[in-house]
A and B are shown apart, each in its own frame.
Chain A
Amino acid sequence: MDFIVAGFIKAIELLISGDRATWTAVWATIKVSTGSMLLSLGAGLPCGFVLGYFDFKGKKHLRTILDTMLALPTVFIGLAVYAFISRQGPLGELGLLFTLTGIAIGQTILAFPIVTAITATTIENIDHDLKLTLVSLGAGRRNIIATCLWEVRYGILAAAVTAYGRVLTEVGISMMVGGNIKYHTRTITTAIALETNKGLFADGIALGLVLIMIAFIVNLSLSFLRKQ
Chain B
Amino acid sequence: MTNNIQVTRKNPAYHLKDIQHYYGNTKVLDIDDLKIEKGSITGLIGPNGSGKSTLLKLLAFAQKPTLGQIFYKGRLELPFSSSIRSKITLLTQKPYLLKRTVFENIVYGLKIRKEKNNLEKRVAEALLNVGLDYQDFATRFWHELSGGEAQRVAMAARLILKPEVLLLDEPIASVDIESAGLIRQASLNARKNWGTTLVIASHDLQWLYSICDHQLSIFKGNIFSTGVENIITGPFEKSDQKTLIKKLEDGQIITLNAPSQTASTAIIRKKNICLALEKQSGNGHINQLSGHITSMLLEKKSETIVAAISVHDLSLIVLLSPDQINRLDLYPGKKVILYFHSHDVEWI
Is B60 interfacial (CB 8 A cutoff)? yes
- Specify which chain B residues have a CB less than 8 angstroms from the CB of A127 in the assembled complex: 96
A136 near B112 with CB under 8 A, answer no
Total inter-chain residue pairs, C-beta < 8 Å: 53
- Specify which chain A residues have a CB less than 8 angstroms from the CB of B98 in the assembled complex: 147, 151
Distance in Å: Cβ of B70 to nearest Cβ of chain A: 15
Q: Which residue of A lies closest to B89 (CB)?
A: A136
CB interface residues, B 64-116, toward A, < 8 Å: 80, 82, 85-86, 88-92, 94-96, 98-99, 108-109, 112-113
Task: Tell me whether chain A's interface is mostly helix, strand or loop, or mixed.
Answer: helix
Interface size on A, residues (CB 8 A): 14
Complex CA–CA separation, A130 to B154 (angstroms): 12
B62 near A136 with CB under 8 A, answer yes
CB interface residues, A 99-146, toward B, < 8 Å: 127, 129-130, 132-133, 135-140, 143
- Specify which chain A residues have a CB less than 8 angstroms from the CB of B96 in the assembled complex: 127, 129-130, 132-133
Distance in Å: Cβ of B65 to nearest Cβ of chain A: 16
A135 near B99 with CB under 8 A, answer no
A132 near B112 with CB under 8 A, answer no
Distance in Å: Cβ of B130 to nearest Cβ of chain A: 16
Chain B residues engaging chain A, CB cutoff 8 angstroms: 57, 60, 62, 80, 82, 85-86, 88-92, 94-96, 98-99, 108-109, 112-113, 154, 157-158, 161, 167
- 11 more A-B contacts (CB under 8 A) besides A137-B157, A140-B112, A151-B99? A129-B94, A132-B57, A132-B62, A133-B96, A136-B60, A136-B90, A138-B89, A138-B112, A140-B85, A143-B112, A151-B98
Top 3 closest A-B pairs, CB basis?
Answer: A136-B90, A137-B109, A129-B96
15 sample A-B contacts, Cβ–Cβ < 8 Å, listed by A number: A127-B96, A129-B95, A132-B96, A133-B96, A135-B62, A136-B62, A136-B89, A136-B158, A137-B108, A137-B109, A137-B161, A138-B86, A138-B109, A138-B113, A147-B98
